[in-house]
Amino acid sequence: MFRIIEKKILNPNVTQMVFDAPYIARKARAGQFVIFRVDEEGERVPLTIADADPQNGTITLIFQIVGKSTMKLNALNTGDSIADLVGPLGQATEIPEGAKNICVIGGGVGCAIAYPQAKSLHKAGYSVDVISGFRSRDIVILEDEFRAVCDELILCTDDGSYGVKGFVTNALDERIQNGHKYDCVIAIGPVPMMKFVCEVTKKYQIKTIVSLNPIMVDGTGMCGGCRVTVGGKTRYACVEGPDFDGHEVDFDELMHRNGTYREREAECRMMAQADKA
Amino acid sequence: MPNMSRTKVPIPEQEPKVRARNFGEVTLGYTQEMALEEASRCLNCKNMPCVSGCPVGVQIPVFIKKITENDFEGAYEVIHATSSLPAVCGRVCPQERQCESKCVRGIKGEPVGIGRLERFAADTHMKHTEAPPQKPVSNGHKVAVVGAGPSGLTCAGDLARLGYEVTVFEALHKAGGVLMYGIPEFRLPKDIVQKEVENLKTLGVSIMTNMVIGKVLSIDELIADGFEAVFVGSGAGLPRFMGIEGESLIGCCSANEYLTRINLMKGYKEGYDTPVLRSKAVAVVGGGNVAMDAARSALRMGADHVYIVYRRSMDEMPARREEVCHAMEEGVEFLNLNNPVKLLGDENGRVRAAVIQKMKLGEPDASGRRSPVPIEGSEYELAVDTVIMAIGTSPNPLIRTTTEGLDADKRGCLVVDETMQTTKEGVYAGGDAVTGAATVILAMGAGKAAAASIDKYIREK
């Protein structure tokens, strides 16, 4: 059992939890993920690690409440425990050699993963700009945290209710055109966002790393559910990823495959809501 | 005078039509009377040819004799002296190619039903024995086992009986490996597996789940932590795909994924959250036990048509005979000498058909089996909404890529010497991680051999 040490509501749909997980905390590096299972009947769900504290033996997870499993997790409180937590899985993010100026882009709850990236890069002495994007003001997360670990934060909202109006892709394109030089872009967020960021960076030939979120069961290479096409080759995101060269990823296929269980997911959500009602 | 009946005492089974729609065990097991009758067919041969066919060397005629004497617990003890998982082996071993293939009774008629009798002894023991095995006195030496599958559990059990303090590290959330995620409930009830795991715990074996060795701890860290030897039984995890067009359509998955969702994650059961593909017509590609398991599971999940698409003929099919017969009785349709060349999708990107090419048999290949040769122009469309690939797996690279000094061959299988020691001192390996995908009993045999070598290694150190 893995105990919840702390729970914090970041916005109505996004929750942060700190778990007692000393083995994982000792090894976790930015870009790696865990798989959690709330209880005996629960699914195995992958989540990228948002932070790790090896001294205190804890890891932080930030998740959006999207389906039954995240609803079940969100229903727990400090002091409660979940059945299983396994990790760290996947490869840590690798920054290309010689890169100095890095732009980290986070979209929505993807900021939860973009944040530890910015933090570790900042600590390692890179020059880091962050572009974070949200639908509107009420769901903005991690603003102060980002400011503390970057040279410049450009916060965008789709509707202009906070920060700069527009998508992260517009902000990125504008900055590059205004003369900002980036050696590497790290984009983490919804698949369409990562796809469009890559279209921008491809124009300027800037190496772009994306963190993929395919469907997974075991997370150790056993099920093949997480296979993605990268550079025309089949790769297993759980063992070879989750980071890949964004210019090589077949995003349309990933989006499509992520819809495999959409009907069943919708049913589950409905049932879970009916339980609450 | 032995019972001279030429056929085995038939074993009760669920009716094919009924069982094809439920996950209850297919084979119900012998009653006491049936077991006594079948046991009396054994000639008790002096040189015990059957034992030479058993990878773990169960003293077969000895345990069968005990059954004839009504000493069922004694029979269990004989089996258990060499096999850690009797209830499992009685159910999943390919006896027709092992012990029973050597049985003298098989010369004229059917061999003795050794597997069925083994299962009877093990099940009787589980039903009637309350007292758990005693924890042996510790010898103070620590051994780590990586992977709680058949080889790891066997190795752990044997070492624990010798007094070693064994910790098993399992990547998944439940111990059992392929016995939990791969082999379906209707063939091997999961309660039985968990009971065997509990027995090991009472022997003093400690099992840590959710520990992916190579990630959370390395082999070198285990050694630094005071484990004097390590056994790697990490299995053959990575599923193979065919590399044909259409494999990324929704509705195409590996047998590993399909079976894990159903078995380990209990996706077939009401109240469990894991989704499983809901299929009307399913093509399972492959001819091994895993293909049979996937096909029979698909029937039980409600599919109207389930096809086995296999590129060779029935004679080359590697699956256990009983599984093939059961699948046929249940209504699985066999398309032998058929091979998919392409999958077709509908407007939503879901599988709607497989394009299948017919094959004929050519010259024997490296495996000694006649190799399939495509018949040009024979392609046809098979309407299916699900395609499950059961064409094999390769060893998981997690350990070999994170442990220095551990050599693997071209296929990625760990290299071991005749004592099961890898190229790294004190690190032993066995099971599918060494052989590539094979059987439960061969993995158990390897775990057993490694346990003996580890004991010798630590005593002589």
pLDDT band, very low/low/confident/very high, at B344 (cuts 50, 70, 90): very high
Residue B73 pLDDT exceeds 70: yes
Predicted local confidence at residue A277, as pLDDT? 64
A41: nearest CB among B172, B215, B272: B272
Task: Report the pLDDT averaged over residues B148-157.
Answer: 95
Instruction: List the beta strands (DSSP E) in chain A.
Output: 2-11, 14-20, 33-37, 45-48, 51-53, 58-64, 81-82, 84-89, 101-107, 127-134, 152-157, 164-165, 184-188, 207-211, 227-230, 233-236, 243-245
Predicted local confidence at residue A264, as pLDDT? 80
B241: nearest CB among A27, A88, A224: A224
Cβ–Cβ of A234/B241 closer than 8 Å?
Answer: yes
Q: What percent of chain B has pLDDT over 90?
A: 79
A253: nearest CB among B241, B248, B275: B248
Residue of A1, A217, A229, A239 to mutate when probing chain B, most B C-beta within 10 A: A217
Predicted local confidence at residue B131, as pLDDT? 66
Q: What is the DSSP string of A9-56?
A: EEETTEEEEEEE-HHHHHH--TT-EEEEE-STTPPPEEEE--EEETTT
| Smallest CA–CA distance from B389 into chain A, residue | A224
Closest-CA distance, B173 to chain A, in angstroms, reads 7
Q: Name the range with the highest mean pLDDT among B84-98, B114-128, B362-376.
A: B114-128
ipTM surpassing 0.90? yes
Predicted local confidence at residue B427, as pLDDT? 97
Residue B129 pLDDT exceeds 80: no
Predicted local confidence at residue B425, as pLDDT? 94
Q: What is the pLDDT of residues B401-410, one digit of tens each?
A: 889 899 999 8
Chain B residue numbers with beta carbons less than 8 Å from the beta carbon of A227 are 241, 248
Residue B182 pLDDT exceeds 90: yes
Residue B163 pLDDT exceeds 80: yes
- CA B382, B388, B394, B400 torsion-angle sign: positive
- Considering the entire predicted model, what is its pTM? 0.93
Residue A196 token pair: 């469009």
Residue B364 pLDDT exceeds 90: no
Residue of B263, B274, B387 to mutate when probing chain A, most A C-beta within 10 A: B274
What is the rounded CA–CA span in Å between residue B186 and residue B262?
Answer: 11
| Smallest CA–CA distance from B349 into chain A, residue | A256
Report the mean per-residue pLDDT for chain B: 93
Q: What is the pLDDT of residues A77-116, one digit of tens each?
A: 999 999 999 999 999 999 988 899 999 999 999 998 899 9
B239: nearest CB among A42, A83, A224: A224
CA distances, B153 to each of B156, B234, B445, B451 (Å): 5, 11, 11, 11
What is the rounded CA–CA span in Å between residue A220 and residue A62?
Answer: 22
Q: What is the pLDDT of residues B222-281, one digit of tens each?
A: 999 999 999 999 998 789 999 999 999 999 999 999 999 999 999 898 888 888 999 999
B274: nearest CB among A43, A219, A260: A43
Helix (H, G, I), strand (E, B) or coil at A125: coil
Chain A residue numbers with beta carbons less than 8 Å from the beta carbon of B253 are 223-225
Closest-CA distance, B382 to chain A, in angstroms, reads 21
Instruction: Give chain B's contact residues with A (Cβ, < 8 Å).
Output: 171-173, 181, 209-212, 215-217, 237-239, 241, 243, 247-248, 250, 253-254, 256-257, 260-261, 265-266, 271-275, 277-278, 349, 396-398
Predicted local confidence at residue B9, as pLDDT? 95
Residue B323 pLDDT exceeds 70: yes
Predicted local confidence at residue B132, as pLDDT? 67
What is the rounded CA–CA span in Å between residue B306 and residue B304?
Answer: 7
Cβ–Cβ of A223/B271 closer than 8 Å?
Answer: no
Per mean pLDDT, which range of A41-45, A270-274, B100-104 is the poorest? A270-274
Chain A residue numbers with beta carbons less than 8 Å from the beta carbon of B271 are 41
Cβ–Cβ of B398/A220 closer than 8 Å?
Answer: yes
Chain A residue numbers with beta carbons less than 8 Å from the beta carbon of B278 are 264
Residue B27 pLDDT exceeds 80: yes
Per mean pLDDT, which range of B54-58, B211-215, B327-331 is the poorest? B54-58
- Strand-pairing partners, residue A157, are A134, A165
Predicted local confidence at residue B234, as pLDDT? 93
A224: nearest CB among B215, B250, B256: B256
Query: Could you check whether the bond before residue B94 is cis, i.e. omega within 30 degrees of 0?
Result: no
Residue A224 pLDDT exceeds 70: yes
Predicted local confidence at residue B437, as pLDDT? 85
- Strand-pairing partners, residue B370, are B364
C-beta separation of A63 from A14 below 8 A: yes
